[in-house]
Amino acid sequence: MQIFEKAPAKINLSLDVLHKREDGFHEVEMVMTTVDLADRIELNTLKDGSIRVESESRFVPNDERNLAYRAAKLMKDHYSVKQGVRIFIEKNIPVAAGLAGGSSDAAAVLRGVNRLWGLNKSLDELAVLGAEIGSDVSFCLYGGTAHATGRGEKVTPLPAPPPCWVVLAKPPLGVSTQTVYQNLNLADAHHPNTNAMIEALMNYDFDAICAQVGNTLEGVTLNLHREVGQIKEQMRQAGADAVLMSGSGPTVFSLVDTDARAQRIYNSLKGFCTEVYVVRMLGYQERT
């Protein structure tokens, strides 16, 4: 049997870090939405019970370092499944980019093996397991637009933003999320107004959404990697309606309401940034 799943990237319209918890994780409050840049996951049953991860990308590990592998193993162990699975990942989302590519792959595998192995578990049940793999996996299971709290695993759906263009640009560097959090000083950090962002989405107000974008982690990454700030400034000068770093970075996105300006921003970035994408906002829950 063969199953296909789509694993879309996400961007953070708003990311606030509230405090460090007793368990060592940080309490966060985020508004996230999916964009039309996606990995494609192919799943095939293996009768020998093994888990195999394959990809044409040399950046994709084929063992437990890969969240997709861990998702399959967690499902197999938790539900005592004897069958195995071959996971082929067509990698389109940049790696270590702040776009939840690995988490989205894991979520796609959870959904996919749920069908492949005939487990018939609900998304809510899968989301509980997903939280064991990573903070963004629960959101990626549902997709769409949502308010996420806790470590990111408590997900409340929100209305989709108005349709717009999203220009994504990833500089040629990787950012360690752990390093960013270690360098975060919450007393001096910018804290976005999450409630105002939610209200803007409720009102389907593109201008208000653009006015409320914010990311508490952005200042840390800007201090560590000046290239991120250069991309932000380039996007602003080229006419973006809003510019923000996604997650812990280093990818920067701009929101634009016209195709012409999106292409202008794209062209302005191609000179010094090789990974640039012009995509549409998805924002709604999508299933393959």
* Per-residue pLDDT at 136: 93
Decide the pairing of beta strands 165-170 and 2-20: unpaired
Asked about 257 being catalytic, the answer comes back as: no
What is the rounded distance in angstroms from the CA atom of residue 230 to the CA atom of residue 262? 18
Indicate which residue of 16, 105, 136, 241 is catalytic. Answer: 136
Q: Mean pLDDT in runs of 10 for the chain (288 residues)?
A: 95 95 89 97 97 93 94 97 97 93 97 97 95 93 95 93 96 88 91 98 97 97 94 96 96 96 94 90 63
* Per-residue pLDDT at 287: 44
* Per-residue pLDDT at 274: 85
* Per-residue pLDDT at 59: 85
| pTM, full prediction | 0.94
In 3D, which of 103, 38, 29 has the Cα closest to residue 287? 38
Asked about 136 being catalytic, the answer comes back as: yes
CA distances from 150 to 18, 147, 237 (A): 10, 10, 36
Indicate which residue of 10, 76, 121, 232 is catalytic. Answer: 10
* Per-residue pLDDT at 155: 95
Q: Report CA 132 to chain centroid distance, whole Å.
A: 17
* Per-residue pLDDT at 250: 95
* Per-residue pLDDT at 247: 93
Q: Count CA atoms closer than 13 A to 177's CA, side-chain side.
A: 16
Q: Evaluate whether 8 touches 286 at the Cβ level (below 8 Å).
A: yes
What is the rounded distance in angstroms from the CA atom of residue 230 to the CA atom of residue 228? 5
* Per-residue pLDDT at 273: 87
What is the rounded distance in angstroms from the CA atom of residue 32 to the CA atom of residue 161? 10
* Per-residue pLDDT at 284: 67
Helix (H) or strand (E) holding 219, with range, is helix 218-224
Q: Quote the DSSP letter at residue 160.
A: P
